[in-house]
Amino acid sequence: MEIKELEEIAKKIRINIIKQVYNAKSGHPGGSLSSADILTALYFNEMNINPSNPKEKTRDRFVLSKGHAAPVLYATLAERGYFEKEKLTTLRKIDSILQGHPDMNKIPGVDISTGSLGQGLSIANGMCLSAKLDNLDYRVYCLLGDGEIEEGQIWEAAMTSSHYKLDNLCVIVDNNNLQIDGTIDKVMNSYPINKKFESFGFNVIDINGNNMEEILNAFKIARTTKEKPTAIIAKTIKGKGVSFMEDKVEWHGKAPNEEQYNIAIKELEGVEF
């Protein structure tokens, strides 16, 4: 797809992130908005997937390790045709398939249930090893939060990724520099993230994670890298696209009120007010 087309899709996904969280009166808009461009590129350009056959054995897999960013995954899956967009307004409602964290047993297109931080990369490793053992050529994409990589299990998993030369693995770190109670460097400094992944044997690519062209180029490089896993360190803006949410830690996990909702939708739709 053309970059402009992908950017338009990302805008629709951001609008539906805000609608979900507003209707639920709870949720995580900040980290969902920051990663919308990444998921757009994955689901509409990069991954080998088929919404009409979501369990296809040879499909590429996606692991949302930072499972609390479920609104961006749900909005992307709905936009891609895995389920009806009308369901998005049921986020976090009783009996809805769209709960606060993704459930692979209920939601078409969700490859793994996530929510407990730090576990996604281990799961992605298992998927990659399975592909190699079964002589299948599918790829696995794993989105980590930059606060999440403070979890020790991430680095045990990174060591495993490199040891087994999982070149069918692509890790993306959503480096928006904010977690629930502050900036990454103040809470538990994990910088320099790129050098850490390099030291674990990854091919590392640094990009602007809100620039579609850079995202697409990074995935292309990852696809052609052999004998080692790839880590894309995507520098993003938390709350991207909504002026009063951008780079504000308080929007990690709260919903907008009616006035804020209307402002956010108008901004994302490009309507002047």
Place of tokens 């390790």: 65
Residue 271's pLDDT band (boundaries 50, 70, 90)? low
Q: Which of these CATH numbers, 3.30.70.100, 3.30.70.3420, 3.40.50.1100, 3.40.50.970, describes 3-269?
A: 3.40.50.970
Range list of H helices, the chain: 3-24, 29-34, 36-41, 70-80, 120-133, 152-163, 184-188, 193-199, 212-224, 258-269
For the chain, domain boundaries: 3-269
**Alpha carbons 263 and 243: distance in angstroms, whole number:** 9
The predicted structure's pLDDT at residue 262:
97
CB distance 104 to 112 below 8 Å: yes
Residue 1's pLDDT band (boundaries 50, 70, 90)? confident
Crossing angle between the packed helical segments 120-133 and 152-163, to the nearest 10 degrees: 20
Sheet holding 230-235, edge to edge: 61-64, 140-145, 169-175, 230-235, 203-208
Instruction: Give CA angle at 84 (174, 43), nearest 5°.
Output: 35
Does the pLDDT of residue 88 top 60, yes or no? Answer: yes
Does the pLDDT of residue 273 top 50, yes or no? Answer: no
Crossing angle between the packed helical segments 212-224 and 3-24, to the nearest 10 degrees: 110
Does the pLDDT of residue 272 top 60, yes or no? Answer: no
The predicted structure's pLDDT at residue 218:
98
**Alpha carbons 104 and 218: distance in angstroms, whole number:** 28
The average pLDDT across 28-37 equals 98
**CA 147 distance to own-chain centroid:** 14
Does the pLDDT of residue 234 top 90, yes or no? Answer: yes
